[in-house]
Amino acid sequence: MEIEIKVTGHAKEWISSSGTLHIDIELPITPEELIQKLGIKRGLVSAVIVGNKWLRWQEPITQQMLKSAGKKITIITPVGGG
Amino acid sequence: MLYGYAGKIARINLREKKVKIMEVTEEMARYFIGGRGFIAYLIWKEQQGVKPLTPEHNLYLMTGPLSGTETPGSGKFEIGHLSPLTGGYGDSNVGGKISKAMRDAGWDGIVLEDISPEPVIIVIRDDEITFEDASDLWGKGAMETEEILKERYPKAEILAIGPAAEHLVKFSMIHHDLGRQAGRTGVGTTMGFKKVKAIVVMGSGGHIKYANPELFKETAKEAIIATRNSDNYDFWVKYGTTSVVQWANENGAFPTKNFWTSYLEGYEKIDGRYMIDTYDVKPKGCYNCPSPCGKVFRFTYRGKEYVVEGPEYETLALMGGNLGINRDVVDVAYLNYLADNYGLDTISTGAVISWTIEAYQKGIIKPHMVDGRELKWNDVETVEYLMGKIARREGIGKILAEGVKFASTFFGAGHEFAMHVKGQEISGYESRWAPAMMLAYATADIGAHHNRAWAITYDIQVGHKITDETADVVIRLQHIRPMFDMLTTCRLQWVELGLDLNYYAKLLSAATGMDWTLDEMLKASERVWNLTRLIWFRHVPSFGRAWDYPPKRWLEEPVPTGPAKGAYIPKEEFDKLLDDYYRKRGWDENGHPTEEKLRELELDKLL
């Protein structure tokens, strides 16, 4: 499935200058696997969100979850220290 | 007329109960912008030869040209002085509504001079500044005081101190808005020394004119929409800074047991996900905040109901992990409540108590010094006991109330694990694997504090190494982040939600009619950074390079457990990084700004 990935937070430019990535993925996939596939350093990600849900690292992202979230995953880089 | 400013500062003499008006000059606005810029400028001009906690020692409370306006996050307020904790330059900011009230009353700020002979409340109603007896409030908690004064003055905004500041605990804070604090550098201590229990502010508004009001409002509206449209907006509003607990543990950055290690077993029970999903927690924002990060937490503890704003990340780190607390986040919330009501900075308090527990366990502090108690990790009663001793300056609390640097000097031991820089206790990020973050802490101009430059993700990006750009990254952040404390607005819309920094240049230009670019604002911020450095040199006789080092633990002890196991930065490597930092800053090998740098920043003619 082709999905849109939004990268947000203060470290986003190290991942994507525009803040948006498009990628073809096979489902189910966990946030851990997704980050690995994208080649992102794990320490630069504090949360992966589908819909309004903050997923756990090993929680599978399913087709149903993605469809109801408009085929969009949000990657949040760490909160920038107040 | 000075657009964007009230144009005047009230100088309040507490002994004589007299007020003099000081003009804000165009030169001040052009070169120092406001907030922390004005504070540094006035300390330099007025405090030569002055020591903290003497009658001549002033407390400066300032707004900036964007505070209390339609700018997103404009509820910040800046308080500064010569710090009684460190002896050098100190400031701290607080969110809420006080800056709006101060500007509505027609003041850019106030300066508290001398000492009141008796406890006093300062009441500001527009141009009228009066004094009320505070004897009935002296001894009461900071939150309790604010609640009482809110009954007396329902339309006022209030700053208050608690018993810790009355007892001159060196890391006392100033409380506001039933849960916000100017926590660092002992600003509450200075207010307590002056016997000012509270400041009550009411303003009718209309005192400040913008150069281009239509453009200002239009730009501010655009910035608010851009903030709200951020893709992580919902996540931020729901979790605020509490989500950092998980990230910090996964990366070995979570202060644990006095920074002995950097990973807390069982951290999940004090993490934001658990806190927000399990308890009654509601968001709360400051004045004109489009992205509220505050968390109002209602909980029951030992059968009694409490409400506290927080705990936010720093408190979860320093009064949670750093004290080994992992049973449940309500333990931290309860300690947060106690600290807020005593009027103690949660960061320094957590650091001082964690040092005390480690010193006890190493035999430096003996049982008879702590009423025969056993001091333990993960023990709320240990923390509660020590916090009470500190806040009241009883027994061992007399020593601990001076901060961790003094305590380790007093006992003649435990320096290597006294976790401070320049006398200020380190906030919530382990840096033994993060050279940029370590440099940021070591060179922060109020002592170790993360808000000057949070550079730890750069360290992750480059694989935890020192690079040719490490010092540049820290320097750039040290100009961007304190710029917000000059404006005086919240930085979170930028740093968390990606608001373009150029908005602030547009807003400042529209407010003041001066043609500001972002580069010019950053140059002003660099000017203030160099000025605060000069203040340190002027007021601390031994000041210099030796003051820019992290504690020995970070330079000599490898992290013993967790994801960062084995990491530390040897002193020789840190020295090279510090050399590079000084060179790039235009400072000499002792860290003093060179004459050339002062000329470049026009400080030679301004001072």
Long-range residue pairs from B212-221, CB within 8 A, at least 24 positions apart, any chain: B212/B509, B212/B510, B212/B513, B213/B510, B215/B506, B215/B510, B216/B69, B216/B70, B216/B507, B216/B510, B216/B511, B217/B70, B219/B503, B219/B506, B219/B507, B219/B510, B220/B69, B220/B70, B220/B71, B220/B72, B220/B507, B221/B70
Q: Residues 90-119, chain B: which have Cβ within 8 Å of A?
A: none
What is the token pair recorded at B589? 């090998």
Question: Which DSSP state fits B463?
Answer: T
Contacts A74 to B, Cβ<8 Å: 231-232, 235
Cα–Cα distance between B502 and B511 in angstroms, integer?
Answer: 14
A54·B496 Cβ contact <8 A: no
Question: Which DSSP state fits B544?
Answer: S
Write down the residue that tokens 């949360």 correspond to: A47
A9: closest chain B residue by CA: B496
Cα–Cα distance between B428 and B346 in angstroms, integer?
Answer: 11
Answer whether B54 touches A (CB < 8 Å).
no
Instruction: Compute φ and ψ for B21, nearest 5 degrees.
Output: -100, 130
What is the token pair recorded at B391? 């806040």
Answer whether B230 touches A (CB < 8 Å).
yes
Chain A residues with CB under 8 Å of a chain B CB are: 6, 8-12, 14, 19, 41-44, 46-47, 49, 52, 54, 74, 76-82
B313·A82 Cβ contact <8 A: yes
What pLDDT, on a 0 to 100 scale, did the predictor assign at position A81? 67
The answer to whether the bond into A28 is cis (omega within 30° of 0) is: yes
Contacts B450 to A, Cβ<8 Å: 81-82
3-state helix/strand/coil string of chain A: CEEEEEEECCCHHHCCCCCEEEEECCCCECHHHHHHHHCCCHHHCCEEEECCEECCCCCCECHHHHHHCCCEEEEECCCCCC
Contacts B498 to A, Cβ<8 Å: 8-10, 12, 19
Q: How far is A79 from chain B (nearest CA, A)?
A: 6
A43·B457 Cβ contact <8 A: yes
Q: What is the ipTM of this complex?
A: 0.95
Distances (CA, A) of B490 to B103, B107, B214: 17, 20, 22
HSE-CB at B322 with a 13 A cutoff on CA atoms is 33
Answer whether B456 touches A (CB < 8 Å).
yes
Q: Is the dihedral of CA A59, A60, A64, A69 positive or negative?
A: positive
The SS3 of residue B107 is coil
Question: Which DSSP state fits B441?
Answer: H
Order across the sheet with B280-284: list the strands: B280-284, B294-301, B304-309
> For residue A77, is pLDDT > 80?
yes
Spatial CA neighbour of B428 closest among B470, B388, B400, B456: B456
Contacts A79 to B, Cβ<8 Å: 236, 241, 243-244, 247, 313, 496
Cα–Cα distance between B292 and B287 in angstroms, integer?
Answer: 10
Share of chain B above pLDDT 90, in %: 99
Contacts B73 to A, Cβ<8 Å: none
Task: Report chain B's mean pLDDT, rounded to a whole number.
Answer: 97
Pair B155, B232: CB distance under 8 Å: no
Pair B228, B291: CB distance under 8 Å: yes
Cα–Cα distance between B163 and B184 in angstroms, integer?
Answer: 16
User: Which tens digit of pLDDT belongs to each residue from B9-68?
Assistant: 999 999 999 999 999 999 999 999 999 999 999 999 999 999 999 999 999 999 999 999
Pair B314, B348: CB distance under 8 Å: no
For residue B221, the tally of other CB atoms under 10 A from its CB is 12
Write down the residue that tokens 């000012």 correspond to: B196
Cα B516–chain centre separation: 27
HSE-CB at B523 with a 13 A cutoff on CA atoms is 15
Contacts A9 to B, Cβ<8 Å: 232, 496, 498
User: Which tens digit of pLDDT belongs to each residue from B543-574?
Assistant: 999 999 999 999 999 999 999 999 999 999 99
HSE-CB at B536 with a 13 A cutoff on CA atoms is 27
Answer whether B180 touches A (CB < 8 Å).
no
Pair B84, B186: CB distance under 8 Å: yes
Answer whether B244 touches A (CB < 8 Å).
yes
B232·A74 Cβ contact <8 A: yes
| Average pLDDT of the residues in B454-483 | 96
What pLDDT, on a 0 to 100 scale, did the predictor assign at position A79? 80
pLDDT band at A82 (very low <50, low <70, confident <90, very high): low
Complete DSSP assignment for B6-44: --EEEEEETTTTEEEEEEPPHHHHHHH-STHHHHHHHHH
Which of B246, B250, B496 lies at the smallest CB-CB distance from A9?
Answer: B496
Write down the residue that tokens 């630069």 correspond to: A44
Which of B312, B314, B496 lies at the smallest CB-CB distance from A80?
Answer: B496
Write down the residue that tokens 């990973």 correspond to: B263
Cα–Cα distance between B517 and B508 in angstroms, integer?
Answer: 9
Q: How far is B159 from chain A (nearest CA, A)?
A: 22
User: Which tens digit of pLDDT belongs to each residue from A26-51?
Assistant: 999 999 999 999 999 999 999 999 99
Answer whether B239 touches A (CB < 8 Å).
yes
Write down the residue that tokens 């059968």 correspond to: B303
Pair B161, B142: CB distance under 8 Å: yes
User: Which tens digit of pLDDT belongs to each residue from B149-191?
Assistant: 999 999 999 999 999 999 999 999 999 999 999 999 999 999 9
Share of chain B above pLDDT 70, in %: 100
Please tell me the total number of residues recorded for chain B in this structure: 607
What pLDDT, on a 0 to 100 scale, did the predictor assign at position A11? 83
The answer to whether the bond into B488 is cis (omega within 30° of 0) is: yes
Q: Is the dihedral of CA B314, B553, B414, B418 positive or negative?
A: negative
Answer whether B131 touches A (CB < 8 Å).
no
Q: How far is B493 from chain A (nearest CA, A)?
A: 10
pTM higher than 0.90: yes
Which of B247, B314, B451 lies at the smallest CB-CB distance from A46?
Answer: B247
pLDDT band at B1 (very low <50, low <70, confident <90, very high): confident
| Average pLDDT of the residues in B467-473 | 98
What pLDDT, on a 0 to 100 scale, did the predictor assign at position B405? 98
Contacts B251 to A, Cβ<8 Å: 43
Pair B461, A44: CB distance under 8 Å: yes
- Give the residues across from A3 on adjacent strands: A23
Contacts A8 to B, Cβ<8 Å: 230-232, 497-498
Write down the residue that tokens 């300032």 correspond to: B62
Answer whether B235 touches A (CB < 8 Å).
yes
Cα A50–chain centre separation: 8
Spatial CA neighbour of B103 closest among B6, B3, B200, B2: B6
Which of A52, A76, A77 lies at the smallest CB-CB distance from B457?
Answer: A77
Q: Which regions of B365-507 does DSSP assign to beta strands (E)?
A: 420-421, 424-425
Q: Which of B460, B478, B501 is the best substitution to test chain A (most A C-beta atoms within 10 A)?
A: B460
